[in-house]
Structure 1
Amino acid sequence: MAVAGPPGSGKTTLSRALAERLGAPVLSYDAYEEITGWPPERVSAWMARGAPLDEIPVPGLAADLARLRNGEPVRDREGGRMLRLNGTVAGRPVIVFDTLLGRAHAGTGPLIDHLIWLDLPLDVALARKLRSFTGEARRDPSGAPGLLHALDAYLCRYDALLHPTYLLQRDRVRPGADKILGLGTLADHLAEALGALTALVAPAASPSEPH
């Protein structure tokens, strides 16, 4: 099962909650992507070419997702531990894929069996993103100067670069979703996702194919 949505929509929170409930591994797009390291002029040039999503560098992501689906262990690039197919629903193994690109990415899209899109208004997503900066500063005041610098850089890029890419993501990724969830609590979204996953695996099928 894949979870997608704009930054700040809660996709990572929902992905982790699903994985915890199911005992399943989480594979995260954020651990592979390199586009956030691009200078603004390169992002602008990419957008001027029509923003082809397959040019977003995510080296190793499709290969690792395929290996997990085949039952092979994969090293978690965020935590360092090995990810394995442990969790099941109705006897079928489950992978939780935390992604920004959904089925719109040629390398990983065909490996997604069910896609949830968190359809949060961009102003609400932005507010939540800003809370991530302020919340971290409150937890560790000693890091506040660095966080302030990061927040300023984020906001400086928002109008010209980030907001247009979030609109593009919604236009290209949202249509490929199997289920769209709007505003709601984590408990609401978790219940919806679990219900969708149970319905997906309910028909008799081979227990060897993960979702």
Structure 2
Amino acid sequence: MSTPLVLAVSGPPGSGKSTLCRALSDHFGAPVLAYDAYEAITAWPPERVAAWLAEGAPFDAVPLPGFAEDLARLRRGEPVPDRERGGTLRLSRRGARPVIVLDTLLGRAHPGTGAEIDHLVWLDLPLDVALARKLRSFTTEARRDPSAAPGFLGALDAYLGRYDTLLHPVYALQRERVRPAADQVLGAGTLADHLAAVRSGIPSTHAAVPTTA
């Protein structure tokens, strides 16, 4: 089997990374390795996040236990646990070159996984629009399960309470450090538009044959 193509998608929370990654996964028959299944920084208390920002927000200090190791194992063709959905992630045997989809906030700026990325897509959504989409995710879940609405309201209040002083500065740094290294920058468009753009944007030297299923 040829060396897998690592296709990464980055962008601010709410930009549609996960949705595009799932579409790419379906198209290429590829496993998705998701940052959110490994990150531990959201468990930090606000004062620790503030101290990290004051130190210059070094991305190598962002705790992602097992993320780089699982990517390395997948690249070697070994199965890894699906820490996001349960089960096991494996490379597809279909196509001329297998693909790994990396759903990551840090792109090539993460020391542990950035050097392994072959093609990086940045979803260039303004932070106010990304915020609106993130808030919509809270309200959608609350409407889906009204009995859980108080819990979602608490989570929403905590999110907004941290946004000005902690979250917005982090997202601004993410754009400053991750976007310049992207191979493709995609703006407004539908999921179908973005999927087509990524498919056509992968250089022939990185060509991967999609699944026909």
CA distance in 2, matches of 1:100, 1:24: 19
TM-score, normalised via structure 2 length: 0.92
Q: CA deviation at 1:138?
A: 1.1
Pick aligned residue for 1:22 from 17, 28, 39 = 28
Pick aligned residue for 1:110 from 115, 118, 131 = 115
Conserved? CA contact 2:30–2:101, under 8 Å: yes
Q: CA deviation at 1:9?
A: 0.3
The aligned runs of 1:53-64 (5 Å cut-off) are 53-64=59-70
Conserved? CA contact 2:10–2:103, under 8 Å: yes
Pick aligned residue for 1:123 from 128, 153, 173 = 128
CA distance in 2, matches of 1:178, 1:85: 23
The aligned runs of 1:1-211 (5 Å cut-off) are 1-86=7-92, 88-89=94-95, 91-197=96-202, 199-202=204-207
Identical amino acids, percent of aligned pairs: 70
Conserved? CA contact 1:4–1:116, under 8 Å: yes
Conserved? CA contact 1:3–1:115, under 8 Å: yes
CA distance in 2, matches of 1:59, 1:4: 19
Conserved? CA contact 2:12–2:171, under 8 Å: yes
Give aligned pairs, total. Answer: 203
Q: CA deviation at 1:201?
A: 2.7
Q: Which amino acid aligns with 1:170?
A: R
Q: Which amino acid aligns with 1:102?
A: G
Judging changes above 3 Å, is the alpha-carbon distance between structure 1 residues 80 and 202 closer, same or farther for their aligned structure 2 residues?
Answer: closer
Secondary structure of residue in 1 paired with 2:102: strand
TM-score, normalised via structure 1 length: 0.93
CA distance in 2, matches of 1:172, 1:135: 31
Conserved? CA contact 1:25–1:87, under 8 Å: no
Unaligned runs of 5+ in 2: 1-6
Unaligned runs of 5+ in 1: none
Secondary structure of residue in 1 paired with 2:202: helix
- The RMSD of aligned alpha carbons is 1.5
Q: Which amino acid aligns with 1:38?
A: W
Spell out structure 1 runs of 4+ moving beyond 6 A. Answer: none
Judging changes above 3 Å, is the alpha-carbon distance between structure 1 residues 14 and 200 closer, same or farther for their aligned structure 2 residues?
Answer: farther
Conserved? CA contact 1:87–1:94, under 8 Å: no
Q: Which amino acid aligns with 2:150?
A: P
Secondary structure of residue in 2 paired with 1:15: helix
Q: Which amino acid aligns with 1:161?
A: L
Q: CA deviation at 1:108?
A: 0.4
CA distance in 1, matches of 2:205, 2:146: 45
CA distance in 2, matches of 1:147, 1:112: 35
